[in-house]
Structure 1
Amino acid sequence: MEPEKSLNKEAQALSAGQACSGHSGEPFLELHWEGRRFKNIQFPVSAAKELGVVESAIKALAREMWIKRYRKQRVPKGFSSKFNLFLDRLSQGCVNTVLVAGPTTGSQTELFVDDSYAVFDEAAEVFLKILAGEADESEVVDFKALDEALTFGKTLEPEDEVKLYRPGCRGLNSVVFTRSKRADVREKYGAKDEEQTLQISGWVASLDAKGELILSTYDGQSVKIFEDPASEGWNQYKKWLAPDRLSRPIRMEGNFLASPSGKISKSGSIDFVEESYPDDWYRRMAVVMNFADGWIDGQNGEAVSVQAKRIVDAILSYFYDEEILEGNRPGIYPLLRGGIQLEWDFDGVDWSIEVDNVGNVELSAFGDGIDLDGEVPAAQTYQETTAKVIKTLESMTAKAGSKSDE
C-alpha cells in the first residue's frame, strides 16, 4: 500500500471517532493556567508565548513522525500550512485557553482526507508524553523537534501551574506542568542549556585583582562573575567579602546559561546586585555568629554552625522580600544546643522558628485558641530546606488566621 493512501485510511479511521476531535471548531487542546498571575482571568503576555511553542512543537514533531513512518525525504507540499492552532476563547474560573485547529488556506491535498489530521493528533499525544516524562527515550531522543518541545514552560513562575488537556482523546490526554516538573523533564531527555533570567541568592566567596568574583549560592553552586576592579561595584563586593561565619547574604538578578537541573554554566549580563536584608538583621546575626562554644558560662552553649546560618539567612531574605512579617522584625537568638531562633509576635500570636546546627527546623505558633507546630527535616541544600520552611509557615499562618476568625 502506498504511504499516502495508508495515511489517508488512518485519517478516515480517526474521523470515524477512533481518536481526538478538534479539527472542525471543537477544542483541540485546552490549557488551564493557575497562579497569582492568572487571577481575574488575566492572561500575561509572556505566557502567551507558550501557545506558539505548542503549535510549533506539534508541527515539528508531526513532520518528523511522518517522514520516519513513511520513509520519505520530505513531507507533502503544504504539510505544515494545513495545521494551525487558534486561540478560541478564555474560560471562567482559572484562565483556560482553548485552542482549535484550522481553518486553513489553500487547496486540500490528498494527504488530508475529510479534514482529518491523523499525524498531528499523534504528534500532540507525543508532545504531552514528553511533558509528562512518559515518552520512551529511545523513540524521541533522535527527534530534532525534541529540543523545541522542551522549551515549553520557560515563562512559568515558581507558583504557576498549567494543565494541558485534550478533550475526547484516548491514551494520555492530560498533563499537569510546573516549573519544577519542567526541570525534571528537561534533565531526563538531556535538553541543552538555555539562557534564563534568574535571581540568585548567596554570598561573595572570593574575588581577585583580575576582576573575577565567585558567588556561592544557597543551593551549593559556585557562580563565576567578572567585574571591573576599578568600578564602584567592585568596592561593594570587597565590602561584602567576609569569612563564612560573618558573610553578608546578597542577591543578584541577570541572564545566565543554565542546565535543565538548574546548574549555572555561564553568567551573562547582571541587572542588579543588592543586600538581601536590612542592616539591623545583619548586625544581630553577626553578634550571634561570634558566640563561641561555652558562651553561657564557659561550659554550656554551643556555637552556631554555618549550616544553621545559611538557612536563617535564606529565611530572613524571604521574609524581607515577601514582607511576610508585615513590618515586624524578628528577634534573633542563639540556641543553647546550637542553632538560631527567630521569634516575633503578630496579631496576638507568638511565632517561633528554631534552626538547629544540623539544619532541622521546628516552627510553632501560640496564642488565644491557637497552638500550632511544624517540623522540617534538613534537606540536601539550604534552598530546599528554606522552601519547605516557608511552605509550612504559610500553611500554619492560614490555619491561625482561620482560627482567629472563628
Structure 2
Amino acid sequence: MPNTPINSEAAAEDAFARFRFAGGRFDSHTIPLEVLPDLAAYRKLVVEVAKMLFRRRMGERVRVPKGFEDSFQIGLAHIEGGSSAVAYMPRLRPVASQQPLQFAANQSSFDQSPYPDFDDARDYIDNLIDSVGSTGSVPQEFPVELAGLFNSFGQSLHEDEFIELGFGGAKAVRYDTFIRKKIVLSRETTYENAVDALFVLNGGVVAQGAIHVLDVNGGSFDFQPSTEFEFKKAYNRASENVRLVGTGLYDKNERLRRLLSVNVIYSEGGATQPFESRLEDIRATPAGWYDDENPVPSTAAIEAMRCLLVDVSMQPVPLPHLYPLPSGGIAAEWSIGAWEASAEVNETGSQVTLNAVNTDTADDINMVIDLQSTVLMSQFMTFINAMSSDEEMPDAN
C-alpha cells in the first residue's frame, strides 16, 4: 500500500512550532542528524519557561502540578524542502495510560486546558529572541536561571546558519549563533559552543582517565575520552596532531576555556606506536616460515598482544622486541639489567606465559596469566618488579 503524502498546509496548521533551518548545511534542503538534539533542547526550554510563567501566575511558592512536564510532548512530523529545510513539530496528545495533571485542592486548573502555559512559553521565547535580534541586548527582567538553557538550544548551528522560528500566522523570528551567545552571556561568564579544531596529543593522567592536549597557540587542555579504549589510544599516540570535534566552554571573547565533550579524529597515516607496525609485519608472515608445517601467526594472538602492549606502554617498562612463534603465537622479549625476559601469547590469544632468566645468577621467574584477567596488569607488574627484588614470585597459575 503506497504511503499517503503529508499535506504541508495541514502540517503547518497543526504545528506547535515551525522551524526553518537556513544557510550552510541546510542549503542542501536536509537537516543533518547532529542538529536533532536542538529540537529536544527546544522542548526542554519551553517546559522550563512554562514553569516560570506558571509560578508567576500562581505564586512562587506554588508547585507545578504532577504530570506538568510529561503533559507537553512535541514531535517531528514533517520536513519540507525548498531553498532551506523546514521542520513542523506538532504537539503530541497524552497517551491513554498517562495520568492527567493533578492539582492541589487550592489550585486552579489553568482555564481547564490540558496544556497550560506552553503556548505562552513559546511566545515568550519568540519575543525574547526577536527583542535580542532587534536591539542587540537582553531585557533586564530576563531570569538568570533560563540563560543556561539556551546553551543547548542552537548549539549545533554554524556561524553561517540560522533557525527561523514561527507558527501559524505568527511573525517569524531569526535565531542564530550571535543571539544565542548574547542570551547566555547576559547572565553567565561563559557559554557552550562547538569545538572543531586541531590539537596535539600530549599524554595524560592514567588514574584520572584524562588526556592532555595542546592547541595551536600552545594552550593546555584536558578531556576525558568516553571509553577506556579511546583513552589508551590517545594516551599512546602522544605528539600526534589530531582534530577534536565536540563541545567546549568559551568566554565572551571566543577564547576556549575548557573542553567538555569531544571526539578525537585521527589523520590517516598518523603516528603510531612502534609495536603496531611490527605487529603488522608479523601478520604478513607466511605459513611455513619456520618449517614446512607451521601456520601463519594467528589473528587472535596478534590482537591479544596488541592489547597487552597498549597496557604495558602506560607502565614504566621499555617496549619489547616482537617475534612470531612456530605455534602461531607471538613472543615479546626484553633485556632488563641482567635479566632476559619474555612474554609468549598462545595461538588462541587466551594466555600469556611470562619467563625471565638472570644471566648472572641463573635465577628464573615463571608465570602464566589469563589475558582476560581483571588484574592482568597488576600480575604483569609483579613479574617485572620481581626482577629488581629478592622476593619470591606468587603462584599465578
Task: Please give the range of the TM-score, normalised by the shorter of the 2 chains.
Answer: 0.3 to 0.5
Specify which structure has the higher proportion of helix: 1
Give the number of the structure with larger relative contact order, counting CA–CA contacts within 8 Å between residues 6 or more apart. Answer: 1
Structure of larger gyration radius: 2
TM-score by length of structure 2 reads 0.46
TM-score by length of structure 1 reads 0.45
